[in-house]
Amino acid sequence: MKFVVYHRVSTKKQGKSGLGLNAQKAYIKHFINKQDIVQEFTEIATAKYMDCKTRPQLCKAIELCKLNGYTLVVAKIDRLSRKTEHALNIYNQLDGRLQSCDIPNLDKFTLTLFMAIADRERELISIRTKQALAEKKKQGVKLGKPSNFTEKGRAKGREANSQKAATNKANIQAQELCVLYKQKGFSLRQIANKLNHNGYKTSRGSKFKPTTIKRLLDRA
């Protein structure tokens, strides 16, 4: 099997410094043999738009795969898209020849599941953020960053918030997956094995067990 690699970073600064890009390359290197890679494409663009005007490198990568029967591979699925319909459209264009290093054994069902959960979580975060800001405003709290914050302090705060958000998102995804797998008829042990196989951890950093799955389902 031959692969075409697609990398995406959101800003020119990330592209020049290698921030984000180096991590993507490391993922690819871990999962894909270098000799199996035909070509790599790197794009500086947001995930919001998917047309060839705003994402020309992605379009080139897809066309190369379509013409030669290659498989498109990304380090993480959000490098390809953050919208379910976009990701599925690409999956269908390539007749399923799509791989993402963060979703082992990718198929159409799993892709739809992960993208739908990500979409829902983004909506919930947006709603919670708006509600929290509105409540603070009602209480007379002045919104915005105090001018006496140092750049170093702000950077630490952003990093802490980012890590916290990632943890919350992972927990929410795991719980959503438990419910969906249960609806599909999976046993508690099968669900635990699925989550562990896909790299999920409990809130304490441990592997999932049937008893852990039961608690998640009870809270759902």
Q: What's the whole-number average pLDDT of the chain?
A: 81
The answer to whether the beta carbons of residues 93 and 67 sit under 8 Å apart is no
**66 in any annotated domain:** yes
At 36-67, the pLDDT tens digits run: 999 999 999 887 777 888 899 999 999 999 99
Band (pLDDT 50/70/90 cuts) for residue 143 is low
What is the C-alpha to C-alpha distance for residues 211 and 213, in angstroms, rounded to an integer?
A: 5
**Does residue 47 sit in the same domain as residue 128?**
no
Is 159 a member of any domain?
no
In the chain, the number of structural domains is 2
At 34, the pLDDT band (50, 70, 90 cuts) reads very high
* Residue 88 sits in the same domain as residue 118: no
Domain range for residue 193?
109-135+167-219
Residue 146 located in a structural domain: no
Q: Which tokens is 16 given?
A: 């020049």
pLDDT attached to residue 153: 61
- Does any domain span residue 155? no
CATH code, domain carrying 49: 3.40.50.1390
Does 209 fall in a domain? Answer: yes
pLDDT category of residue 158 using cuts at 50, 70 and 90: low
One domain, residues 172 and 188: yes
Output the pLDDT for position 185.
86
For residues 64 and 80, membership in a common domain is answered with yes
pTM: 0.58
- Alpha-carbon dihedral sign for residues 3, 25, 88, 50: negative
**Whether residue 53 is found in the same domain as residue 101:** yes
Average pLDDT over residues 113-118: 82
